[in-house]
Structure 1
Amino acid sequence: MSEQTKPELKKSLSGLHLWGIAVGLVISGEYFGWSYGWAQAGTLGFLVTALLIAAMYTTFIFSFTELTTAIPHAGGPFAYSLKAFGPVGGFVAGFATLIEFIFAPPAIALAIGSYLNVQFPALDPKMAAVGAYIVFMGLNIVGVTIAATFELFVTVLAIVELLVFMGVVAPGFSWSNFATGGWSGESTFTLGSVGGILAAIPFAIWFFLAIEGAAMAAEETKNPKKTVPIAYIAGILTLVFLAFGTMVFAGGVGDWKALANINDPLPQAMKAVVGENSSWLHMLVWIGLFGLIASFHGIIMGYSRQLFALARAGFLPPVLATLHPTRKTPHWAILLGGVIGIAAIFSDELLSFGGLSLTANIVTMSVFGAIVMYIMSMAALFKLRKDAPEMDRPYKAPFYPFFPALSLVLAILALGTMVYYNLLVFGLFLVLFAIGFGIYFATAHLRSGDVHAANLEHGTLDIAQAEARTLVD
Structure 2
Amino acid sequence: MSVQQLKPTLGTLHLWGIAVGLVISGEYFGWSYGWGVAGTLGFLVTAVLVAVMYTCFIFSFTELTTAIPHAGGPFAYSRRAYGEKGGLIAGLATLIEFVFAPPAIALAIGAYLNVQFPGLDPKTAAVGAYIVFMTLNILGVQLAATFELLVTILAVLELLVFMGVVAPGFSFSNFVLNGWAGSESFGMPAVSGIFAAIPFAIWFFLAIEGAAMAAEEAKDPKRTIPKAYVTGILTLVVLAMGVMIMAGGAGDWSALSNINDPLPQAMKMVVGENSGWLHMLVWIGLFGLVASFHGIILGYSRQFFALARAGYLPASLAKLSRFQTPHRAIIAGGIIGIAAIYSDGLINLQGMSLTAAMITMAVFGAIVMYIMSMLSLFKLRRTEPHLERTFMAPGFPVVPGIALVLSVICLIAMAWFNAIIGLIFLVFMAVGYCYFQLTAHHRANAEEDALLTGSN
> For the superposition of Structure 1 and Structure 2, which TM-score range results when normalised by the shorter chain?
over 0.9
Does 2:43 correspond to 1:46? yes
Q: Which residue of the partner structure matches residue 212 of structure 1?
A: 209
What is the CA-CA distance between 1:330 and the residue it aligns to? 0.1
Shift of 1:448: 2.1
1:385 aligns with one of 359, 375, 381? 381
What does residue 330 of structure 2 align with?
334
Aligned pairs for 1:131-142 within 5 A: 131-142=128-139
Residues 79 and 452, structure 2, Cα contact 8 Å, conserved in 1? no
Question: Do structure 1's residue 264 and structure 2's residue 261 form an aligned pair?
Answer: yes
- Corresponding residue of 1:290: 287
Q: Could you report, residue by residue, the CA deviation over 1:425-460 in whole angstroms, capped at 9, with x for unpaired residues?
A: 0010011111111221232111229999xxxxxxxx
Q: Distance in 1 between matches of 2:301 and 2:455?
A: 19
The amino acid of 2:203's aligned partner reads W
1:307 is paired with a residue of what secondary structure? Answer: helix
2:414 is aligned, of 413, 418, 421, to: 418
Residue by residue over 1:141-163, the C-alpha shift from the partner in whole angstroms, topping out at 9 and shown as x without a partner, is 00000000000000000000000
Instruction: Name structure 2 gaps, 5 residues minimum.
Output: none
- 2: distance between equivalents of 1:464 and 1:424? 34
Q: 2:30 maps to which residue?
A: 33
Equivalent residue letter for 1:412: V
Which of 340, 346, 369 is residue 350 of structure 1 equivalent to?
346
- Secondary structure at the residue paired with 1:248? helix
Distance (Å, rounded) in 2 between the aligned partners of 1:211 and 1:72 = 16
Q: What is residue 122 of structure 1 aligned with on the other side?
A: 119
In 2, are the aligned partners of 1:184 and 1:196 still within 8 Å (CA)? no
Describe the SS at the equivalent of 1:176. helix
% identity of equivalent residues: 68
Residue 96 (str. 1) matches residue 93 (str. 2): yes
User: Which piece of structure 1 moves more, 425-434 or 366-375?
Assistant: 425-434
Scaled by the length of structure 2, the TM-score of the pair is: 0.97
Partner of 1:395: 391
**Aligned partner of 1:106: which letter?**
P
Q: Can you list the C-alpha shifts for 1:301-338, whole angstroms capped at 9, x where unaligned? A: 000000000000111100000000x2000000000000
TM-score normalised by L of structure 1: 0.94
Counterpart amino acid of 1:216? Answer: M
Q: 1:142 to 1:195 in 2, by over 3 A?
A: same
Residues 332, 466 of structure 1: alpha-carbon distance in 2 compared, 3 angstrom cutoff: farther
Equivalences for residues 154-193 of structure 1 within 5 A: 154-185=151-182, 192-193=189-190
Within 2, Cα distance between the matches of 1:467 and 1:392?
14
Deviation at 1:55?
0.3
Deviations 1:259-313 (A, max 9, x none): 0000000000001111111110000000000000000000000000000000001
Q: Is the CA contact (8 Å cut-off) linking 1:7 and 1:321 kept in structure 2?
A: no
The letter of the residue matching 1:248 is I
- How many residue pairs match? The answer is 454
Give runs of aligned pairs for residues 231-380 of structure 1, distance below 5 A: 231-324=228-321, 326-380=322-376
C-alpha change, 1:237 and 1:302, in structure 2 (3 Å) is: same
Deviation at 1:350, TM superposition (A): 1.1
Aligned twin of 1:224: 221
Distance of 2:436 and 2:175 partners within structure 1? 49
Structure-2 separation of matches of 1:153 and 1:62: 25
Is contact 2:311-2:446 (8 Å) kept?
Answer: no
**Which residue does 1:463 correspond to in 2?**
451
Quick one: distance in 1 between partners of 2:368 and 2:191? 23
Partner of 1:456: none
Q: Helix, strand or coil for the counterpart of 1:209?
A: coil
- What RMSD, in angstroms, separates the aligned Cα atoms of the two structures? 1.8
Q: CA deviation at 1:466?
A: 6.7
Q: How far apart in 1 are the matches of 2:182 and 2:316? A: 52
Moved more, 350-359 or 40-49: 350-359
The letter for the 2-side match of 1:463 is: L
C-alpha displacement of 1:371: 0.0
Contact persistence 1:25–1:210 (CA under 8 A): yes
Partner SS for 2:350: coil
- Cα deviation for residue 376 of structure 1 reads 0.1
